[in-house]
Amino acid sequence: MNDLKDKTAFVTGGASGIGLETARALARRGARPILADIDGAAAEAAAAELRAEGADAMGLSLNVAEEADWARAGEAATRFGQVLILFSNAGVGGGSGAFETYDTEVWRWAYAVNAHAHLYACRTFLGAMKAAGEPAHLAVTASMVAIVPPPISVAYISSKFATLGIAMALRNELADTQVGISVLCPGMSATNIVATTARLRPGAGEQGAAAQTAQNMSGVLASGMSPARIGERMARAIQAGEFFVFTHPEWKPMAEAGFAEMLAAFGESADPAYAGDDIAGLVAANGARRMNVAVNR
């Protein structure tokens, strides 16, 4: 999407952080951002800020975890303009503590926001984006923890793994369309995710060691990369049609070590007489021409 002028961009988590800064960077390129956020007043205030900077922007309230809420947001967005850029970015932390102690309500909520919402977003906009007959772009926010999982929240890590899987599967599915796709995998970013998670999470607040972990993470993230820098990088990726969007190169050695361990684990076949999987047949059986990976280019 080299020319973003007058293209309507729907951005979730748009009232602050990476969402707002990506919307701002898209607006600088001529796009018309719709800032969707669970805090509707903050979304409208952010949109007013962008309008003061010369952008044509709209703010609206949206709980990305509630599919029914998407119908209303989709109708409002369509009245503003045909969405050709969809940035499914909203996310929350998943709580702390040992896996076996997780509150199942919090677990389901983390997945609803961090993973299920991408389905709701695409059910709302992707069909029309495909049918538009012109270049469009879908972007989702995963995390470096989907590549290199640190010893933090299992709910957060696994839901971000799910997001990466969604993006990789959609990359194949969209290969023969005019809809590009990007997956953002940032490292530590100076956003309000810890405070937002504490405010919105269902059930009781975290206590004891879990509460201390949340406080510690808030301090760590405060010194993270500026969302403005990440937003600008994301806008460039959308414009250039990049798939993987990495913003924190200091994670690369850990990613290399992790993939080296994985590749080293490939050995002899469990059945030496087996002819091997028919990868081409697998692709063809699903109505595709190829798998969108470097080995097939």
Contact predicate 209/97, CB 8 Å: yes
d(C-alpha 211, C-alpha 121), whole Å: 32
Distance between CA 5 and CA 88 in Å, rounded?
Answer: 20
Q: How many CB atoms are closer than 10 A to CB 23?
A: 34
The torsion angles phi and psi of 208, rounded to 5 degrees, stand at 60, -130
- β-strand pairing of 83-88 with 58-61: unpaired
Active site residue 111: no
Instruction: Spot the catalytic one: 102, 111, 156, 274.
Output: 156
Catalytic residues: 156
